[in-house]
Amino acid sequence: MTRGPAPGPRCWPPAWWPWLGATACAEDLLSWREGLLVFRGTPLVEAAAEFNRYNAHKLMVDDPSIAAIPVGGSFRWSNTDAFVRVLEQGFGLRAVRDGDVTRLRAQ
């Protein structure tokens, strides 16, 4: 079951991306209104927490070795399956689905 949106995600320019200005940050902050979550070098554990704010089905980062993996891109907050597929295919992570929880682990 999907809940309606909560206030938008936090945004800050990553230290390695100094040209990301206030305008881009503001756009990212408001993207949740359009059904999107925008990540720019966001640690995986924080990206998962953002998805969890909007969905009854939770993403759990069970493996501390993957918690800090930087994630980038725009994702529909209502489509955790697409986000998990990107993690599996692009980062080689393993997703174990168990009821209302998907546990993310290294291969």
Are 48 and 59 contacting, i.e. CB atoms less than 8 angstroms apart?
yes
Least confident of 9-13, 45-49, 89-93: 9-13
> What are 17-68's pLDDT values in tens digits?
555 555 556 565 556 667 889 888 899 999 999 999 999 999 999 999 999 9
- Decide if pLDDT at 101 tops 90: yes
Write down the pTM of the prediction.
Answer: 0.74
Domain ranges in the chain?
A: 37-106
Are 53 and 6 contacting, i.e. CB atoms less than 8 angstroms apart?
yes
Q: What is the sign, positive or negative, of the torsion defined by CA atoms of 18, 22, 26, 31?
A: negative
User: What is the CATH class of 37-106?
Assistant: alpha beta
pLDDT of residue 16: 47
